[in-house]
Structure 1
Amino acid sequence: MKKTSNRLADGREIVYYDASDDAVREAADQRPLEPTATASEIRYDPLLAEWTAVTAHRQARTYHPPADECPLCPSRDGRLSEIPEPDYDVAVFENRFPSFTGGPGPETAGGPHGLFASAPGAGRCEVVCFTSDHTASFADLTEPQARLVLDVWTDRTAELSQLAGVEQVFCFENRGREIGVTLGHPHGQIYAYPFTTPRTERMLRTAAAHRDRTGGRNLFDDVLDAELADGQRVVLEGEHWVAFVPHAAHWPYEVHLYPRRRVPDLLGLEEEQRAEFPRIYLEVLRRFDRIFGPGEPPTPYIAAWHQVTGAVPERREFALHLELFTIRRTSGKLKFLAGSESGMNVFINDVPPEAAAERLREVASE
């Protein structure tokens, strides 16, 4: 893998990742862009003990441009985009409308009783373009292409976790208008947060309680062992990875992908795990597109890497895993987060996890 870093016209970094060591990336951004002006603030919720980002500048972000004006396609035939090169393997650049940006700053506690704490929304947000092919999806990638993306996620995790003020790095993909995607080109994002996210903190607390209750056992190891022993919800097994629908799945079709050997983050994966991942993940994605039968539009989904980076004391107890889920519950119908889910964070799933797993096994590639 060859890595080349350049700058866009407004000062943002763009990094090219190429499978070939002889790739040359020297094209300059010819757009007349002013330097970016962004500001992010985080505010603390004293009732839930968690942070919310406030980012007014994101209201102006690009929204569903026509395919011939896609900002993630290469710059070709006189049309200039976010990516100056006429072609690329994988390209990563700083988001023009980031949720988190800049370096850390002091936290202030204002308002009556000092309850209104806030701080700069320090961090970084990046866009990861998986391929230059606008009409493709991740599931269309070859195994070498998917392996390159895995290596990119790993490299970005290593680099972003070293930034001042960053406590967690989150790699993810949103696909489909139903999810809220505003650009159709196959891409994902990476958020470098200035705090550990509430979901991760909750998993760490639960794992610690399980360890204390069981005399030192690891919760993630026990969950994976239990799913394998039960077998009803296992979707796909490899030598180094296991894909299963969790016992208490929140979403109509939800798959968790775990390496058999526990590691806390992407950097901990060994070569055997990296080599097998593309085959397993691509097969799961292709099955997702076949869930609802022939003739159905591509399945909208969110794919989210859960990892603990940096100096979090409990990180060795955490298990890197990928969670993939769709909000489509049946043909033409979506699962909305209504009163119970949005108001109380209590999910109600209309599709039994065992039925979802069975369906995902039925649509295996021949």
Structure 2
Amino acid sequence: MTERRYDPTRGEWVTFATHRQNRTFLPPADQCPLCPTAPGRPATEIAAADYELVAFDNRFPSFTAEPPEPSVAGDDLTPVAPAAGHAEVVVFTSDHDATLTALPAARLRALVDVWADRTTELGRRPEVGYVFPFENKGEEIGVTLNHPHGQIYGYPDIPPIPAQEIAAARRYRDEHGSCVWCDVGVREEDSERCVVRGSAFAAYVPFWARFPYQVYISARRHAPALPSLTAPERDDLARVLKQVLVAYDGLFGFSMPYVMAVHQEPAAPGHGDVSHLHLELSPPYRTATRRKFLAGSELAAGAYVTDLAPERTAAALRDVLARETAEPGRHEAAA
């Protein structure tokens, strides 16, 4: 069953993809479907002896170009729709034990190009309304494959959180005549919450951070989406992202789990004046041994309560980068 059901009490669509219940779950490394196909072993998803970056259709997609008809009938109160859209996997490296953090900045630059290319290609498809690249890293986040990879969803419409951002940005433009993300960026990149300021992107713990070590990486000019970036801007995004990832891994001495998501202009025209390209990285840890769980207030009310001040967490991340600069270690390519 793959279908979408409308929740009239929140004005949101919920997607059901029951076939994903049986997807591959944390296989041993020698049975990883994202590793290169090796002689004498069963074929994997990638028919190559080695590779750098690979993108392909998800075998267990939440959205497809030709979805089946819904299993139930909808009505005016609770409509039902096919789960039209697209779902891809992006594998970052052939090295099963690597992480995005450990890869050179040049590989992250190539990843930015892949994201931009797939945004353009998927955005042309009539069944896609919003292109959403993301990475779920770590078993704490709920990954089912440990091989370093991300995904790209082509939603049939604008998902709730990007839609809220666009609506808020439009209200702000109507009231103030400027882009809220541009105005926030100017303030944050010169504040004690700034972690890294590049030539084209700035990384900061937002004033309103919902997770203790949440970081936004935002374009310093009004760039609406990945394809609109120039080559130097893409270079800088890769550099800034690399530094944030290095800071995360150096913070508590282990490879930090996180959700990384790209927020950008929808596929349909008419939002470029209020859509502002930014990445949101949300790690679950608040100390080396304690995680931030979404419980009663966050999960049930949607009202986040954060445990640490953004000024404190940004300072901790800057300290990691300062140590790395003074004594370069395994992430010497951070800059």
**What TM-score do the two structures reach when normalised by structure 1?**
0.85
| Match status 1:169 vs 2:126 | no
Equivalent residues in 2 for 1:46-195, closer than 5 Å: 46-79=8-41, 80-103=43-66, 110-111=74-75, 114-195=76-157
By how many angstroms is 1:162 displaced? 1.1
Return the alpha-carbon distance in structure 2 between the equivalents of residues 143 and 315 of structure 1: 29
Kindly indicate whether the alpha-carbon contact (under 8 Å) linking 1:103 and 1:165 is maintained by their aligned counterparts in 2.
no
Equivalent residues in 2 for 1:1-366, closer than 5 Å: 39-79=1-41, 80-103=43-66, 110-111=74-75, 114-214=76-176, 216-229=177-190, 231-292=191-252, 294=253, 297-364=254-321, 365-366=324-325
Return the alpha-carbon distance in structure 1 between the equivalents of residues 189 and 204 of structure 2: 9
Percentage of identical aligned residues: 44
Aligned-partner SS, 2:246: helix
Aligned-partner SS, 2:210: coil
User: Aligned AA for 2:244?
Assistant: V
User: Aligned AA for 2:56?
Assistant: F
User: Aligned AA for 1:298?
Assistant: S
Instruction: Provide Cα deviations, 1:68-114, integer angstroms capped at 9, x if missing partner.
Output: 10000000122221111111111111111111112479999834xx2
Q: Which one has more relative contact order, counting CA pairs under 8 Å at least 6 apart?
A: 2
Distance 1:210 1:106, change over 3 A: farther
Return the alpha-carbon distance in structure 1 between the equivalents of residues 160 and 228 of structure 2: 23
Return the alpha-carbon distance in structure 2 between the equivalents of residues 120 and 254 of structure 1: 34
Any stretches of 5+ residues in structure 1 without a counterpart?
1-38
Aligned-partner SS, 1:253: coil
Return the alpha-carbon distance in structure 2 between the equivalents of residues 85 and 105 of structure 1: 32
Any stretches of 5+ residues in structure 2 without a counterpart?
326-335
Instruction: Name the count of aligned residue pairs.
Output: 321
Return the alpha-carbon distance in structure 1 between the equivalents of residues 181 and 238 of structure 2: 22
By how many angstroms is 1:163 displaced? 1.3
Instruction: Provide Cα deviations, 1:178-237, integer angstroms capped at 9, x if missing partner.
Output: 0001111010000000111111111111111111222x11111111112134x1100011
After the TM superposition, which of the residue ranges 256-265 and 61-70 deviates more from structure 2? 256-265
Once superposed, which parts of structure 1, at least 4 consecutive aligned residues long, lie more than 6 Å away? 104-109
Q: Higher strand proportion, which one?
A: 1
Return the alpha-carbon distance in structure 2 between the equivalents of residues 299 and 275 of structure 1: 24
**What TM-score do the two structures reach when normalised by structure 2?**
0.92
Distance 1:105 1:194, change over 3 A: farther
Aligned to 1:15: none
RMSD between aligned alpha carbons?
1.6
